[in-house]
Structure 1
């Protein structure tokens, strides 16, 4: 694994990539080989950790987006859901939010780094975020909530017990630096379950997560996937059944998988 000047790591081959993605050690107490990382795959290494809300270049519209989503989606959402569940559901169905998508599965992240065949000539990347270390920066009330539940990620209900809306969440940092919440969404459908999904949430809707992480290099790593490896990775993921058919259960996923799977290799490389 080559270390680049910016601190990111560049995989040299498939085995090199596996070794880095699964480099975590057994837990010091229970001895299980369970990662504390979340993973985000991007098909271009140039992409930043930018939320969908940032991409519309109008972050002050956040409360209006959520209020109107809640109003117009009344026929399909629960009446008693809290604001965090509403935010997670809105993100899941494509509303621009400050949430950023991650997965607990490095292979799901690899899928998203290699699924767009139009970008096979570009290097991709997998961002690896250490959830436990990120949560070291939490205010005490948030840390106490995790400790009470013996959990290292929040659920929407756990987070709601600490603070029940975005304004209170943002103000809870006080004079300190922004902090990050790692939030496991409710399992509202098979897609969330199959993607082993997680969201990150920052106390600043205008700040990119990679800009925050610059001050905390021990909290993450970025693994570059050379374009020359993408086809091999893609084919091996397909053989392991990590593909659109699994990621997006239903006819849409089957169609997307077949379209990519049957695309001529020369078109993928052109």
Structure 2
């Protein structure tokens, strides 16, 4: 039996073990799962906007604002100013700006965003766990996060239909109640101009008012009924991925057509794949030996 108030951590001894686990357990039609790869297993499920606000608060401590207030203001300013400047700079026609998801489009170009990107493919998540791994951290484990989207949808329904009404008489106004008990929204509507999301089999989660999904489930989980089946809501798979093993896995993924060129269908992807393939070339034996039998 597993709890949904915290992430379950599963550790693997080597890369072969994580490969087998993906093949045997994560390629399934029994459950709808999402995956996210981290080059460092210590990283939490935080968005780029959270990290942006942390950095800004450390640079300007004299403001003495709470994280929650700073986050809310920064989110509003980023969204407003980016949308306005897209139009002012003629980056996009105004009618197109009004149609797109500002956060998805901005994140594509490095805008701090409240969206956290996932993939429906564990192999694509594995690629992202390996490809940008800092050489200085080569001995630290990587991680693949696994989220059960069926349980998440159930949790969101309970939050809206049961938890918020239960506290409505005790906590007011409604806006504050919704901040204490936000849903973890799934954002998977495609929009024109974002080919990456399709090529990466991607979707996003959006969480307001909480620093990370881990913190959110600890708070929300106290008021949620625990599942009676052995289904895990959130799981972190940790595995060692030294430089050589990472390169071997990236070679395998490349043969599956999972590489920078296919996941980033633009010039960025072309450059990324060129660098990746060149790095893997360095592991090719300098001299190859052939044996012939008579």
TM-score by length of structure 2 reads: 0.67
How far 1:140 moved relative to its partner?
6.8
- Distance in structure 2 (CA, Å) of the matches to 1:197 and 1:173: 31
Query: 1:150 aligns to what?
Result: none
Question: Which is bigger in relative contact order (C-alpha 8 A, separation at least 6)?
Answer: 2
Alpha-carbon distance in structure 2 between the residues aligned to 1:258 and 1:121? 25
- 1:48 aligns to what SS in structure 2? coil
The alpha-carbon distance between structure 1 residues 179 and 222, as it changes in their structure 2 partners (threshold 3 A), is same
Map of 2:273 onto structure 1: 257
TM-score, structure 1 as length reference:
0.72
C-alpha deviation, 1:90, in angstroms: 2.2
Task: Report whether the alignment pairs 1:247 with 2:263.
Answer: yes
Residue in structure 2 matched with residue 17 of structure 1 by the alignment:
18
1:19: Cα distance to partner? 4.2
Number of residues of Structure 1 aligned to a counterpart in Structure 2:
228
CA distance 1:262–1:99, change in 2 (3 Å): same
Change (3 A) 1:124 1:135: same
**2:103 & 2:269 partners in 1: Cα distance?**
24
Q: Which has the larger radius of gyration?
A: 2
Equivalent in the alignment of 1:123: 141
Secondary structure of the residue aligned to 2:124 is: helix
RMSD, aligned α-carbons: 3.1
CA, structure 1 residues 13+257, in 2 after alignment: closer, same or farther (shift >3 Å)?
Answer: same
Q: List runs of 5+ in structure 2 lacking aligned partners.
A: 1-6, 57-70, 162-173, 227-231, 285-294
Partner of 1:148: none
Q: Give 1:195 deviation, angstroms.
A: 0.9
Correspondence 1:142-153 to 2 at 5 A: none
Distance verdict in 2 for CA 1:121–1:78, change over 3 Å: farther
In structure 1, the gaps of 5 or more residues are 1-5, 27-32, 144-169
The answer as to 2:85 corresponding to 1:72 is: yes
Q: How does 1:60-99 map to 2 (within 5 A)?
A: 60-74=73-87, 75=90, 76=92, 79=95, 85-99=101-115
1:196 aligns with 2:197: no
1:137 maps onto 2:147 in alignment = no
Shift of 1:189: 2.8
Contact 1:88 1:185 in 2 (8 A): no
Deviation at 1:46, TM superposition (A): 1.0
